[in-house]
Amino acid sequence: MPGRTRANGEGSIFPYRNGYAAYVWVNKPDGRRARKYVYGQSREIVHEKWLKLHQQAKAGPVATRIPTLAQYLAYWLEEIVKPNLAPATYVSYEGFTRLYIVPGIGAKRLDRLQVKDVQTWINKVARACQCCAQGKDAARPAAKRRCCAVGNCCQAVPSDSAIRGLRATLRAALSQAVAEELVTKNVAALVKLRAARKKPGAAWDSDEARRFLESARADKDPMYAAWVLLLVLGLRRGELLGLSWDDIDETDGELNVAWQLQRIGGQLVRRETKTEESDAPLPLPEICRTALAIRRAEQQAERKAAGEAWQNSSLVFTTRYGTPLEPRNFNRAWEARVRRYGLRRITPHGARRTCASVLADLDVHPRVAMQILRHADFKVTMEIYTKVSSKQTREALKRLGERMNGAESA
């Protein structure tokens, strides 16, 4: 009986376990030649992989060994994340990788990592005190050890947001591995996490915001202009601290948001904003123009007082010596002022949320609010707009009660 006709080159495809395998002779990165294997459940799948492998072999050196997860993550951080993503993203991914992923499942070979491996590991991380697991207390001087190292576990389990960030890091790395055809599926994307209820951030109403700004101006608060831009324009903290006088067009009355200041890896870095939506000129209301004029006069006085110690930076908000403001010190100044004026405690980001809430209360169209707040995704704006303020809720229920009462009386 004549044998089965094979396509050209299919002699290297053969049955293997529950499917098929094939190989191609390739040049390795070290210059030596070796066989590189591909696998699949059907001859057609393997043949397609075999053709792709041939193309790779013609294009240049091909690695014949699948790396461990730890080895791949080191490459991914250095060659993919660091040169292409924001510095803060790199710092976040590197921290999750070093503290959690590599110690937990880093020894696993990349192509042998399964959903159950990641699920079991991430469940364990979520339950474990990380002070114990990472030896945080043990790393302190003996006299300062107070919990895990002395048998008094502090139960410092990761937050839900930390666990989500952990999965997101692994998922991003494995997505790149899928694109590079090192693995066929992203197992991290299939891992289940418990649903976490997101706590709504606190914000002021328009009366509270007005009282805060009026008190700050009356007290000649040196950060008055910063508070105005936070509450009126909804600037992010990094955008505010990265703002320079070159970004302000006093003639046309516009402010261009194009830079942000962040502390990354122990250094203050001024870098471009993340998205094109953030790089948008904003018209300056009169209160903002007045506040910026006050700030310019204050900075000129600070420059004169500092003399030779002054350092030119062109930033709008600086220390008394012209250096950039430390983000944590900015937060401390905000918190001190909020306490002084006896208002409900909110964060600087809560000031941005206040701006959004007031826009919603004023019935500003969501698309307009999206442009003012420079959201990249309309869904983010609508999340704010669908959360009606408590004052509006009380008013609506009052009217509803009156209507129902009137209906019953009739």
CATH of domain 206-392: 1.10.443.10
- For residue 278, what are the CA distances in angstroms to 120, 222, 274? 40, 27, 7
Within its chain, how far is the Cα of 268 from the centroid? 17
Each residue of 355-393: pLDDT tens digit?
877 776 666 666 666 666 666 665 655 665 455 555 565
Task: Report which residue type is found at 190.
Answer: L
Sorted by where each begins, the domain ranges of the chain are 20-59, 69-190, 206-392
Quick one: what percent of the chain has pLDDT higher than 70?
81
CATH topology of domain 69-190: DNA polymerase; domain 1 (1.10.150)
Each residue of 42-55: pLDDT tens digit?
999 999 989 988 88
Hey, is 388 helix, strand or coil? coil
- For residue 129, what are the CA distances in angstroms to 133, 137, 152? 6, 11, 11
- For residue 269, what are the CA distances in angstroms to 121, 261, 265, 312? 35, 6, 9, 16
Residues 393, 248: contact at Cβ < 8 Å? no
Residues 53, 27: contact at Cβ < 8 Å? no
Instruction: Read off the pTM.
Output: 0.67
Question: CA–CA separation, 319 vs 325, rounded Å?
Answer: 6
> Lowest-confidence range among 74-83, 129-138, 169-178, 262-271?
262-271
Each residue of 69-90: pLDDT tens digit?
999 999 999 999 999 988 889 9
Each residue of 329-361: pLDDT tens digit?
999 999 999 998 888 999 998 888 888 777 766
Residue 45 has φ and ψ, to the nearest 5°, of -65, -45
